[in-house]
Every structure is written in structure tokens, then in C-alpha cells.
Amino acid sequence: MSDKYDLLYLDPPWFYNKRNNANTRYGGGAGIHYPLMKTKDICAMPIPDMMADRCLVFMWGCFPKDAEFHKVLKAWNLTFVSIGLLWVKLNKSGRVIYVPKNTAIDSHGNFTNKKSIVLDGGTQFGTGFYAKSNAEPCWLARKGRTYKPCRNDISNLVFAPHTGVHSEKPAEVRDRISMMYPDLRKAEVFARHTSSGWDSYGNEVGKLDGPPRLSLTLSESEGCR
């Protein structure tokens, strides 16, 4: 592959051998929506060929697949950094309310801390055998020397309802990455959307494209590399 990127964003179709039976209460799980990949096959993908000498990699996973994720990092010769972003799933009617700082509630019953997070409508009650999981991590790894983000005022917590198709991630995550690293050469792998400023790869590219939407923008993007 001739194109080299400074930042990759991936959502691999992790294999679950307990959820590929349509007769279970999971209704067949992810396997009835798209082909799943075993860890060894993800490891064998030519993703390293897409990486520049310095590259950041944001990769979706789930906590039960933490060990598998680290096998992929080793195969791709990447260094683990942290959880890049964490999606906390709200109910479909849920929303985030921001209220003023270092005060509680005024005499009218209003919050006064706009940097605090208040959820209206509650979080989604997830699935799980041992505990009902909710949040999904987008892990962060790097190749070589890292890049400093243009902004340090962007939270890695993303509160959003799951309103799309199976496994569709909030567009806000991609927007936040773009705001932090606006001038890096970026590509999305296993993409189902096309996005301005990103190259897209996968067998479902464009499948979920809809009408143009309002994206978050960054007014200053110089001096970030």
C-alpha cells in the first residue's frame, strides 16, 4: 500500500464464538450483521503498511477483548498508550446537561456548574453474562514518537445514545479526533461512512452515508505536528 498515514481509526469486527447462534437471546449477535474476524486474522492484516514512521492508532474494542487487543498491538509493533475515548451509552432519549462550576443547586433548583456532567434520561442497560456492560473503549496506541494534540480541552468521555445500526459508533468520536489532530493524514479502516478529511477503507465504505450533517470544527489548526 503506497499511502502512509499519521493517524488510523479502526473498528475491527472482533469474533465472539458465544454469540454466533441465532437461537440465543442475543439474536445471533454481530455475526448476522457483518463477517467477523478472529484475532489471528486481524493481526495478519497489512495495517502496518499504512503507518507512517510516526503514527497514532485509535482502535475500538470491548473490555472482554482486552487481551486480544494487546496481541494485535504486538503483531503490528505498536506501543499501548491509554484509552483514547470512552463511549458511555445513553438511553435513546438520553441527553447531557452541562451546569455551572463548583456550586450545587440554586434556590430555583438549577445546577450552576456548566463543566459538570448531568445525564437526563439515564444510561443504557447493557448486556453481559457476569455484569451488564455499558461503555465501549476506543483504545489508543502509537508507532514511534507521538504527536501532541492541538487541543487539551477535549474530554475522552463521549456520552451519546446508540441510535444507529449494530456496532455503529457515534460520529462525535471521529469529530473529536479531528479536532485534536486536524492536520495529520488520517484514515479510517472498517469504515461505513465517508468523512471529510479522512480516507476510508473497508468493504462497507459509504453504506451508512446519509445527508450532510453539521460537524464540529476547529478554528485554529496550525503548529500541531
- pLDDT tens-digit profile of 102-147? 545 545 454 454 455 555 556 666 666 677 677 889 999 999 998 9
Pick left, alpha or beta for residue 45 (phi over 0 → left; psi -120 to 50 → alpha; otherwise beta).
beta
Is it the case that residue 94 has pLDDT exceeding 80? no
Tell me if 104 is assigned to some domain.
no
pTM of the model: 0.75
Based on the structure, what is the number of domains in the chain? Answer: 1
Tell me if 125 is assigned to some domain.
no
- With CA atoms as reference, report the closest residue to 76 among 44, 53, 54: 44
> What is the CB-side half-sphere exposure of residue 90 using CA atoms within 13 A?
19
CATH number for the domain including 165?
A: 3.40.50.150
| Calculated CA dihedral for residues 59, 29, 87, 198, nearest 10 degrees | 40
Domain residue limits at 43: 5-91+134-201
Tell me if 140 is assigned to some domain.
yes
Tell me if 213 is assigned to some domain.
no
Is it the case that residue 31 has pLDDT exceeding 60? no
Query: Residue 40 has which C-alpha cell?
Result: 489471528
Tell me if 143 is assigned to some domain.
yes
- Residue for grid cell 487539551: 152
pLDDT of residue 6: 97
Question: What own/partner pairs with CB < 8 Å and gap ≥ 24 does 124-131 have?
Answer: 124/89, 124/90, 124/91, 124/94, 124/161, 124/162, 126/89, 127/26
Tell me if 217 is assigned to some domain.
no
Tell me if 118 is assigned to some domain.
no
Q: For 198-211, give one letter per residue: b (16+ CB within 10 A) or e.
A: bbbbbeebeeeeee
Tell me if 44 is assigned to some domain.
yes
- Residue for grid cell 500500500: 1
Least confident of 39-48, 92-101, 137-146: 92-101
